[in-house]
């Protein structure tokens, strides 16, 4: 059996179904007694949709560059070639937070269930417990769809598109075939684009295409046997000579300071706490000076930057990439990297990051939205524990922390696994070697 296509289902078909309902674009079967005035789920219209579109557009500076194509204002651009990446980030990443209190119940809770399941299905790897949760959530989504949208009326039978039926198969396919990010149409679409670009002869295009495919297959076989013959630059070749290669696939990168700078009293306390955690102590005569670095290349191909250099740029010129997800023990935490630096301890040099931590999420929101709306505050910088020094290897990925009133909401790149598979590195931006 062929696995289901996660790309077109999640990013286009399933999304289009909900949008047609919320925008009131679904066909009304008046012959069987349906009345559009009774559609309580039509809310994303007029000024509400306009404000929502503006809110989506204002999130742009807070989405890291590794998030592929950021979503444009859907109110203005949804009919102008809106891309699958844009739908994924907007609909399943940002919408649970941006539509909270705007979208009526029970439709909002129903949507959060769907978003939670879709996020699990896009992971690079998942436990059986995760997939069973996605399976249960999708089964509830399908059953509740007929109750809250169709209301078991034959006049709304056309609401139940194929995207609803196939939703319940996605988690089961992942168990049988593997995670959808490896098997979906993303790879096929890229291959189609590649081979199309190679066809330059207008005459006899199919013979030309066959010849190009044969040539590429022969070259790939040759490069697999003799990698040194491959003329294409490897991701590692893009790492500058000034980069410090670290274990586990991390690389510490410029910009770096020419001379050391003094840390603040709060940062000095955080460094002392770090020494204590690893069973050492900070020398009493330590001068409190470190050489700061700006970037850390992660094994995921993302560049985790720092507030040290990003804060000197104007917001509209940024794609903020200094917020990170960290793994300490068996618990994930989130923080804003202020800078990276290196410490000499017991004749060894440790690469670490100074991180301004975010607090715990709102538990009620996390429960009510099935984990799709992670809302938290950033700890006051003078509060003990707000600044933490962590080992570089604790940083797992770059995330978006988007301001919302006096809090922040989290957006992770749910398709990180698809990019990770190909060894793709984020396109680096020009940076000075030292300042």
| pLDDT tens readout for residues 91-104 | 999 999 999 999 99
Please check the confidence at residue 84 and state whether its pLDDT lies above 60.
yes
Q: Give the pLDDT mean for 52-73.
A: 95
pLDDT in the model for residue 238 = 72
> Band of the pLDDT at 141, cuts 50, 70, 90?
very high
d(CA 110, CA 91): 14
pLDDT in the model for residue 351 = 97
Are residue 268 and residue 310 in the same domain, yes or no? yes
> Band of the pLDDT at 164, cuts 50, 70, 90?
very high
Are residue 176 and residue 264 in the same domain, yes or no? no
Question: Which tokens is 54 given?
Answer: 């503006």
Are residue 132 and residue 209 in the same domain, yes or no? no
Please check the confidence at residue 421 and state whether its pLDDT lies above 60.
no
Are residue 154 and residue 282 in the same domain, yes or no? no
Report the percent of the chain where pLDDT is more than 90: 67
CB atoms within 10 A of CB 362: 17
Are residue 85 and residue 172 in the same domain, yes or no? yes
pLDDT in the model for residue 308 = 97
345-373: pLDDT as tens digits: 877 899 999 999 999 999 999 999 999 99
Q: Domain tally for the chain?
A: 3
* Final residue before a domain boundary, out of 158, 186, 214: 186
Q: Which of the residue ranges 26-40, 155-169, 403-417, 420-434 would you say has the lowest mean pLDDT?
A: 420-434
Q: Is residue 154 part of a domain?
A: yes
Please check the confidence at residue 89 and state whether its pLDDT lies above 90.
yes
pLDDT in the model for residue 419 = 41
How does the average pLDDT of the chain come out, rounded? 90
Please check the confidence at residue 281 and state whether its pLDDT lies above 50.
yes
pLDDT in the model for residue 332 = 94
Are residue 181 and residue 42 in the same domain, yes or no? yes
Are residue 207 and residue 82 in the same domain, yes or no? no
Q: Is residue 431 part of a domain?
A: no
CB atoms within 10 A of CB 51: 13
Q: Which of the residue ranges 102-106, 128-132, 177-181, 355-359 would you say has the lowest mean pLDDT?
A: 177-181
Question: Which tokens is 287 given?
Answer: 């001068």
Q: In which residue are the tokens 């850390």 written?
A: 296
Q: Give the pLDDT mean for 190-198.
A: 84
Comparing 126 with 391, the larger pLDDT belongs to 391
Please check the confidence at residue 420 and state whether its pLDDT lies above 50.
no
Q: What is the DSSP letter of 147?
A: I
pLDDT in the model for residue 57 = 97
Q: Is residue 322 part of a domain?
A: yes
Range of the domain at 216: 199-229
Comparing 432 with 171, the larger pLDDT belongs to 171
Q: Give the pLDDT mean for 399-420.
A: 83
Q: Is residue 193 part of a domain?
A: no
Q: Is residue 131 part of a domain?
A: yes
Please check the confidence at residue 418 and state whether its pLDDT lies above 60.
no
Q: Give the pLDDT mean for 210-222.
A: 92
Q: Is residue 34 part of a domain?
A: yes
Q: Is residue 140 part of a domain?
A: yes
> Band of the pLDDT at 180, cuts 50, 70, 90?
confident
Comparing 421 with 278, the larger pLDDT belongs to 278
Please check the confidence at residue 289 and state whether its pLDDT lies above 70.
yes
Q: Is residue 434 part of a domain?
A: no
Please give the order of strands across the beta sheet that includes 375-376: 375-376, 407-411, 400-404
pLDDT in the model for residue 5 = 82
Please check the confidence at residue 326 and state whether its pLDDT lies above 60.
yes
Are residue 60 and residue 204 in the same domain, yes or no? no
Are residue 138 and residue 210 in the same domain, yes or no? no
Are residue 152 and residue 101 in the same domain, yes or no? yes
pLDDT in the model for residue 179 = 84
Burial annotation 363-386 (CB, 10 A radius, 16+ → b, else e):
eebbeebbbbbbbbebbeeeeeeb
Are residue 367 and residue 270 in the same domain, yes or no? yes
Please check the confidence at residue 34 and state whether its pLDDT lies above 80.
yes
User: Which conformational region is residue 70 in: left (phi greater than 0), alpha (psi within -120 to 50 degrees), or beta?
Assistant: beta
Are residue 28 and residue 137 in the same domain, yes or no? yes
What CATH number did the domain enclosing 370 receive? 2.30.30
Cβ(426)–Cβ(63) under 8 Å? no
Q: In which residue are the tokens 């990168």 written?
A: 253
What are the helix (H) ranges across 154-230? Answer: 162-177, 180-183, 185-198, 205-225
Cβ(253)–Cβ(297) under 8 Å? yes
């Amino acid at each position: 059996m062929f696995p289901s296509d996660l790309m077109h289902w999640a990013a286009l078909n399933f999304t289009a179904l909900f949008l047609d309902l919320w925008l009131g674009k679904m066909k009304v079967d008046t012959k069987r007694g349906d009345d559009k005035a009774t559609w309580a789920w039509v809310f994303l219209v007029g000024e509400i949709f306009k404000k929502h579109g503006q809110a989506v557009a204002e999130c742009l500076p807070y989405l890291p560059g590794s998030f592929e194509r950021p979503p444009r204002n859907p109110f203005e651009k949804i009919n102008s070639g809106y891309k699958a990446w844009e739908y994924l980030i907007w609909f399943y990443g940002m919408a649970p937070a941006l539509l909270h209190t705007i979208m009526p119940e029970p439709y909002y809770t129903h949507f959060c269930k769907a978003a939670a399941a879709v996020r699990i299905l896009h992971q690079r790897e998942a436990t059986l417990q995760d997939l069973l949760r996605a399976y249960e959530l999708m089964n509830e989504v399908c059953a509740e769809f007929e109750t809250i949208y169709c209301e078991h009326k034959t006049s709304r039978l056309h609401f139940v598109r194929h995207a609803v039926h196939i939703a319940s198969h996605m988690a089961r396919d992942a168990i049988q075939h593997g995670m959808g990010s490896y098997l979906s149409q993303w790879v096929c679409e890229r291959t189609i684009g590649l081979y199309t670009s190679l066809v330059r002869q207008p005459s006899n295009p199919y013979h030309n295409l066959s010849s190009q495919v044969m040539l590429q297959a022969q070259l790939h076989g040759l490069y697999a046997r003799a990698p040194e013959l491959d003329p294409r630059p490897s991701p590692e070749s893009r790492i500058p000579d000034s980069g410090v290669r670290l274990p586990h696939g991390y690389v510490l990168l410029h910009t770096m300071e020419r001379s050391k700078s003094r840390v603040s009293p709060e940062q000095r306390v955080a460094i002392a706490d770090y020494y204590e955690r690893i069973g050492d102590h900070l020398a009493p005569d330590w001068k409190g000076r470190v050489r700061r670095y700006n970037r850390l290349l992660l094994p995921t191909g993302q560049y985790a930057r720092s507030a040290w250099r990003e804060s000197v740029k104007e917001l509209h010129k940024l794609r903020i990439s200094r917020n990170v997800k960290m793994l300490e023990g068996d618990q994930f935490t989130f923080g804003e990297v202020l800078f990276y630096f290196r410490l000499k301890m017991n004749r060894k040099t440790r690469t670490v990051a100074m991180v301004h931590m975010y607090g715990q999420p709102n538990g009620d929101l996390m429960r009510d939205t099935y984990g799709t709306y992670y809302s938290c505050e950033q700890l006051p910088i003078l509060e003990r524990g707000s600044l933490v020094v962590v080992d570089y290897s604790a940083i797992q990925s770059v995330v978006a922390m988007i301001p919302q009133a006096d809090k922040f909401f989290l957006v992770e790149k749910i398709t990180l696994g698809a990019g990770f598979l190909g060894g793709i590195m984020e396109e680096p931006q020009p940076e000075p070697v030292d300042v």
